[in-house]
Structure 1
């Protein structure tokens, strides 16, 4: 009797295996053949699930973002104030900082290799940003998306600084910057007219 394969589950398993492969070799350096070898599957099997390396990467980005949002909401406590919710978000980022640094470097590598991304790729990545931003708006209970965009850009900046200038060891700096941002956002919210 032939083995029954849950195609979607198997596709996710292949994607999860790609995280480490992309991290080790970089997006630009790894080939479909090397990905197949690393996953211990045939190149034909890999092409059966993914049209290209770009398709693997795009689906991997989506999967990681969805997992990240689910993981956050599974552990996020119910807290009353915006300041407390921001503290929860920044603690989660700090706890996952090494993972986010790895993701950031992969994104930079991807964009270096695909300088002329297709409209479809750019639209897809915009949808990923929007989904993450909307989850941020929901958790923080913000009246609009502008503060969520600001927060996500701020976090990206912190991650970049940790990659290039600070390292994971400089957590006092990370915490200090987080506290400054939280004070600024909470002050902005207190000064904003209530709708």
Structure 2
């Protein structure tokens, strides 16, 4: 009997190998032929799953965002207070820092090879950004877009600083500071909203 292949699982395995390859050699420096050789498949097999190197990247981008969101949602299961959720997210980033560094460098390398207008119009990027926004909004229990954007910029900024400057900032310290700032901000918003309520 012919071997039954779970094509989606096999595609994900190829993407995992490509992530490691891009992390080691960079996106720009390898061709599809070299990728096939490095991950141990035929060029035909690689093209069967990914019609181009750019298409391969976007599927990889989709895959690691899906995995990251699922992993972080699992971490936040049964965590109820805002402070605990913020601490858990920052702890998760700290524990997986090397992976996130690689992700950032691969994405930066890819973006250098593309037209910025095309990147900003890309549906995969838009969909994943919204997925990340929804996760942050749910984790912080807020629908305030300014808070969500600030939290995403803060987390990314800390990782970038640590990538280039080392341990000049600490995740736990930034988590505590963010919680204090967010608590004060939400109290201020609540106070202003109550001031604006009509008097009956």
Normalised by the size of structure 1, how large is the TM-score? 0.89
Normalised by the size of structure 2, how large is the TM-score? 0.87
SS state at 2:47 partner: helix
Moved more, 114-123 or 144-153: 114-123
Q: Which runs of 5+ in 2 are unaligned?
A: 195-200
Residue in 2 that maps onto 1:180: 177
Moved over 6 A (4+): none
Residue in 1 that maps onto 2:85: 85
SS state at 1:188 partner: helix
Q: CA RMSD in A?
A: 2.0
Residue in 2 that maps onto 1:158: 158
* Offset, 1:30: 1.3
Aligned residues between the structures? 192
- Structure 1 or 2, whichever has the larger Rg, is 2
> C-alpha offsets along residues 25-68 of structure 1, whole Å, 9 cap, x if unaligned?
10111111111011110001000000111111111111111111
Distance 2:121 2:44 in 1: 24
Residue in 2 that maps onto 1:190: 187
Moved more, 92-101 or 134-143: 134-143
1:20-169 pair list within 5 angstroms: 20-116=20-116, 118=118, 122-166=122-166
Q: Which runs of 5+ in 1 are unaligned?
A: none
Q: Is contact 1:83-1:186 (8 Å) kept? A: no
Distance 1:3 1:121 in 2: 41
